[in-house]
């Protein structure tokens, strides 16, 4: 039938997608009905590894999103602008949209999905989270029969690579980062990854899809991995944990209307937990719900091929729906009706579109109830542990474990693991502890899964 694509961007993901679609034998037969009609790029002179017929490549991106011939706009530009404006314009022109743009969806999801609903089009985003791992569509279609109360992901390959190397080689954050930059696993400016911002975009999206509410980036509490030291990794190891940067969306009580806690932070993960054995640049997303229990999706979190697979699967889903629409229109024409063929009806499949109309409350981080790991540097004098314990006790923080083995120069090192405690109470205790004369500093503060 010829579904016409307009692709915005021909970088790594765009090129991977074009390659997959042009080389379509042995894949789902519906892919053969796709025509790459226009590809929008910034510069015509840049050398390309894919060959496209003359006239397909253009620098006029605006013309693609408004072209009446185009059915689906695939946005793989990255960045906030012009991506956001082009997506909105495409929707207004009645195009279905496939995007890999986590940053735009995490910030402007509400605007985009509201407009898409009005326009009766789909906005698909499998590639925005977890690279090639099918997780968005399974959440919408398969797992949504559950009451999902928890989504926990290792969704940033760069930080997982760095933490894995720090763990296996005993290297420092700075050394591993420099190494990762050389190997191309980390950007020259690593902020987006190591400060948890990329993971924050992704958990905002996962939380939205899993809960049916619109969770915005501004709802996400975020800490990166710069503060994680060799020392903490060694202590964690001794205590039976590995340290992972987790992106977490979790209902804070079992009630249906419970507020959601949505956060990104380095976390001590028990070694026997399924997420503990996710190493290197891999990603994994764990979903817990009633009655399913725990399921996990694992795979490559980035890369041209993996991301192209996710983008193409979204395209395939829309093509299948468009094909149904076409079958309906043909049936109507066959009945020799005077009315015009209907359109947009077949796509009102509620499992393709994103639900985001539910109400939900975001819990402030102070309301979180969790176990903490904290490392203190103290003067080497008797009674310090007693003072710490008393201070915690005053604020209702009970301790599971206190270890004092190491020294850093003249200072004694004390590691504390609490029982479950309200974060607000724990913070108050810490503020008081930091004023104690015996306390030099509190170099690390980590949460325990």
Enumerate the known binding-site residues: 8-15, 102, 187
> Comparing C-alpha atoms, which of 205, 241, 253 is closest to residue 361?
253
How big is the chain, counted in residues? 449
Q: Which of residues 26-45 bind its own copies (CB under 8 A)?
A: 26-31
Q: Which one of 350, 398, 405, 441 is in contact with its own copies (CB under 8 A)?
A: 350
For its own copies, give the closer residue by CB, 31 or 222: 31
Residue 297 interacts with its own copies (CB under 8 A): yes or no: yes
Using CA atoms, how far apart are residues 198 and 159, in angstroms rounded to an integer? 10
Using CA atoms, how far apart are residues 391 and 397, in angstroms rounded to an integer? 9
For its own copies, give the closer residue by CB, 222 or 322: 322
Pairing of strands 241-251, 411-418: unpaired
Which part of the chain contacts its own copies (CB under 8 A), choosing from 50-58, 96-104, 327-335, 376-384?
Answer: 327-335
Hey, which residues are catalytic here? Answer: 202
Residue 293 interacts with its own copies (CB under 8 A): yes or no: yes
Residue 294 interacts with its own copies (CB under 8 A): yes or no: yes
Q: Which one of 50, 115, 252, 296 is in contact with its own copies (CB under 8 A)?
A: 296
Q: How far is the CB of 101 from its own copies (least distance, A)?
A: 19
Residue 345 interacts with its own copies (CB under 8 A): yes or no: yes
Residue 252 interacts with its own copies (CB under 8 A): yes or no: no
Using CA atoms, how far apart are residues 213 and 131, in angstroms rounded to an integer? 23
Binding-residue total with its own copies (CB under 8 A): 69
**CA–centroid distance for 108 within its chain:** 15
For its own copies, give the closer residue by CB, 239 or 304: 304
Residue 328 interacts with its own copies (CB under 8 A): yes or no: yes
Q: 262 to each of 34, 125, 354, 411, how far by Cα in Å?
A: 38, 20, 19, 36
Q: 419 to each of 176, 281, 367, how far by Cα in Å?
A: 32, 32, 15
Residue 164 interacts with its own copies (CB under 8 A): yes or no: no
Pairing of strands 34-40, 411-418: unpaired
Q: How far is the CB of 298 from its own copies (least distance, A)?
A: 4
Q: Which of residues 127-156 bind its own copies (CB under 8 A)?
A: 132-134, 137-138, 141-147
Pairing of strands 293-300, 241-251: unpaired
DSSP secondary structure of 245-270 = EEEEEEESSSSTTPPEEEEEEEEEEE
Residue 22 interacts with its own copies (CB under 8 A): yes or no: no
User: C-alpha angle 53/55/56, rounded to 5°?
Assistant: 65
Q: What residues line the site for its own copies (CB under 8 A)?
A: 16, 19-20, 25-31, 126, 132-134, 137-138, 141-147, 256, 274, 277, 289-300, 303-306, 308-310, 312-313, 315-317, 320-321, 323-324, 327-328, 331-332, 335, 337, 339, 342, 345-346, 348-351, 355
């Amino acid at each position: 039938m010829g579904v016409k694509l307009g692709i915005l961007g021909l970088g790594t993901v765009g090129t991977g997608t074009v390659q997959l679609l042009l080389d379509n034998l042995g894949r789902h037969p519906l892919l053969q009905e796709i025509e790459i009609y226009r590809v929008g790029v910034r510069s015509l002179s840049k050398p390309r590894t894919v060959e496209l017929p003359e006239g397909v490549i253009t620098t006029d991106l605006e013309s693609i999103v408004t072209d009446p011939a185009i059915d689906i706009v695939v946005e793989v530009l990255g960045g906030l602008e012009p991506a956001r404006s082009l997506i909105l314009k495409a929707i207004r022109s009645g195009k279905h949209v496939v995007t890999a743009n986590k940053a735009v969806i995490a910030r402007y999801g509400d605007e985009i999905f509201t407009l898409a609903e009005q326009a009766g089009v789909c906005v698909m985003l499998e590639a925005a989270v977890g690279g090639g791992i099918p997780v968005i569509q399974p959440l919408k279609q398969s797992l949504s029969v559950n009451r999902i109360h928890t989504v926990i992901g290792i969704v940033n390959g760069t930080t997982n690579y760095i933490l894995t190397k720090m763990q296996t080689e005993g290297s420092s954050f700075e050394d591993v980062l420099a190494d990762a930059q050389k190997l191309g696993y980390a950007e020259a400016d690593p902020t987006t990854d190591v400060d948890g911002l990329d993971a924050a975009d992704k958990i905002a999206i996962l939380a939205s899809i899993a809960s049916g509410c619109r969770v915005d980036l501004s709802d996400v509490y975020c800490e990166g991995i710069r503060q994680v030291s060799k020392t903490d990794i060694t202590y964690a190891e001794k205590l039976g944990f590995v340290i992972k940067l987790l992106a977490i969306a979790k209902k804070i009580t079992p009630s249906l209307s419970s507020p959601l806690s949505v956060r990104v932070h380095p976390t001590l993960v028990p070694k026997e937990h399924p997420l503990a054995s996710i190493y290197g640049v891999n990603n994994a997303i764990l979903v817990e719900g009633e009655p399913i229990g725990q399921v996990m999706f694992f795979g490559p979190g980035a890369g041209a091929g993996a991301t192209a697979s996710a983008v193409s699967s979204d395209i395939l889903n829309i093509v299948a729906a468009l094909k149904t629409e076409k079958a309906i229109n043909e049936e109507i024409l066959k009945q020799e009706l005077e009315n015009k063929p209907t359109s947009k009806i077949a796509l009102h499949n509620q499992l393709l579109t994103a639900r985001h109309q539910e109400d939900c409350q975001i819990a402030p981080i102070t309301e979180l109830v969790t176990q903490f790991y904290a490392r203190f540097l103290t003067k080497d004098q008797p009674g310090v542990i007693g003072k710490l314990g008393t201070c915690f006790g005053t604020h209702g923080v009970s301790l599971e474990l206190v270890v004092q083995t190491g020294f850093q120069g003249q200072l004694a090192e004390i590691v504390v693991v609490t029982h479950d405690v309200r974060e607000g109470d724990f913070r108050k205790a810490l503020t008081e502890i930091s004023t104690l004369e015996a306390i030099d500093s509190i170099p690390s503060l980590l949460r325990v899964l």
